[in-house]
């Protein structure tokens, strides 16, 4: 599985590599579980590093089919589509315009990084944002490269040994 998923009460965070349908199932299952346990729609943040490959067409179609479930379980949906410059800005604009349909006004957002999330959530949701982003930060998920498909379908993060200038190693 090419994604890492973490959650706290009120929020779910996913770090993406190249998604599969099974990854999407794991994410929506976690989102619905946390929403049910919390007793209300939750915040979902997904981080897509610059080096993450795009999903295959059938996976994109599957994500579209899952969107009604995300809409029901999420108070807001935030995509951290990383990168700077014109091309990255265009990608964020296209993604935002494509996925706005079907979402309540003010519920779907695309950001350059995690800092943009705070400005787009209601004040009451900020503790959930702080909690999930602090957990993601503590696990290195805000700076990690995309997870790779590991043995037996498990995600593994490429890591760099401390104070090393060598390339990333799984």
Count CB atoms within 10 A of the CB of residue 18.
17
Q: How far is the C-alpha of 151 from the C-alpha of 123, rounded, in Å?
A: 42
pLDDT in tens, 91-114: 444 544 555 555 555 677 888 789
**Residue 139 is encoded by which pair of tokens?**
């696990």
The radius of gyration of the chain's CA atoms, rounded to the nearest angstrom, is: 15
Mean pLDDT score across all residues of the chain: 78
Q: Which CATH number fits domain 3-156: 1.20.120, 3.40.525, 1.10.10, 3.40.462?
A: 3.40.525
With contact defined as beta carbons under 8 Å apart, do 67 and 95 qualify? no
pLDDT value at position 54?
Answer: 78
Best CA proximity match to 78, nearest among 102, 108, 52, 105: 108
Using DSSP, state whether 34 is helix, strand or coil: helix
Q: What is the pLDDT of residues 110-143, one digit of tens each?
A: 887 898 898 888 888 899 999 999 999 999 999 9
* DSSP 8-state assignment for residue 18: S
Question: Which DSSP symbol is given to 79?
Answer: E
N residues, the chain: 170
Q: Where are the domains of the chain?
A: 3-156
Handedness of CA 7, 11, 15, 18 (dihedral sign): positive
Residues 6+ apart with CB under 8 A from 1: 20, 22, 23, 26, 147, 149, 150, 153, 154, 155
Pick the residue with more confidence: 87 or 117? 117
**DSSP secondary structure letter of residue 120:** T
Rounded Cα–Cα distance for residues 86 and 88 (Å): 6
More confident residue, 63 or 105: 63
Q: What is the pLDDT of residues 4-53, one digit of tens each?
A: 999 999 999 999 888 899 999 999 999 999 999 999 999 999 998 888 78
């Amino acid at each position: 599985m090419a994604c890492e998923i973490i959650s706290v009460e009120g929020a779910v965070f996913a770090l993406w590599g190249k998604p599969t349908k099974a990854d999407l199932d794991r994410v929506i299952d976690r989102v619905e579980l946390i929403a049910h346990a919390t007793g209300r729609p939750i915040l979902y943040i997904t981080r897509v590093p610059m080096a993450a490959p795009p999903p295959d067409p059938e996976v994109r179609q599957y994500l579209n089919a899952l969107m009604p479930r995300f809409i029901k379980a999420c108070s807001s949906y935030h995509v951290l589509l990383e990168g700077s410059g014109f091309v990255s800005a265009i990608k964020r604009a296209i993604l935002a315009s494509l996925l706005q349909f079907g979402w309540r006004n003010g519920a779907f957002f695309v950001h350059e990084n995690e800092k943009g999330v705070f400005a787009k959530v209601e004040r009451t949701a900020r503790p959930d944002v702080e909690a999930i982003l602090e957990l993601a930060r503590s696990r290195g998920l805000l700076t990690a490269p995309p997870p790779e498909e590991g043995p037996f379908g498990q995600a593994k993060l490429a890591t760099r040994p401390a104070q090393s200038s060598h390339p990333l190693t799984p």
